[in-house]
Structure 1
């Protein structure tokens, strides 16, 4: 499974989402490749992704995708991330 965390530049909030998603996956006993990327490269980087994690502001820019787009309100809230990831994966 591949999860892509998207933000404007690919280093700030997507990096936080990447690290927290890896922690949540480990707690859940799930394995996935988690990648942080910028919105400009989303089509290329997320072409084979099952889940895209992002903020509400980037949803429209992601465009058409086969991945589940999961909007995270609080990038530091691992409980929110856990609930939403489980729903997207399950």
Structure 2
């Protein structure tokens, strides 16, 4: 499974989201590759992704995709991330 975290530059908030997603996935015993990327490269990087994690401001820019786009309100809230990932993977 591939999960892509998206933000404007691909190094700030997407990096934080990547680390927290990996932490949550480990606790759920789910193997996945998590990649942080910027919005400009989303079409290329997320072409084979099953899930895209991002904030509400980037949803329109992601455009049409086969991945589940999950909007995360608080990148530091691992409980929110856990519940949203569990729902997407169910």
TM range (shorter): over 0.9
Give unmatched runs, 5+ long, in structure 2: none
RMSD of the alignment, in Å?
0.3
**Structure 1 CA distance, aligned partners of 2:66 and 2:58?**
16
Relative to the length of structure 1, the TM-score reads 0.99
Relative to the length of structure 2, the TM-score reads 0.99
Q: Deviation at 1:89? A: 1.2
Identify the residue that residue 58 of structure 1 maps to in structure 2. Answer: 58
Identify the residue that residue 28 of structure 2 maps to in structure 1. Answer: 28
* SS of 2:75 mapped into structure 1: coil
1:12 aligns with 2:12: yes
**Structure 2 CA distance, aligned partners of 1:76 and 1:53?**
13
Q: How many residues align?
A: 90
**Structure 2 CA distance, aligned partners of 1:28 and 1:21?**
10
Structure 1 stretches (4+) deviating beyond 2 angstroms? none
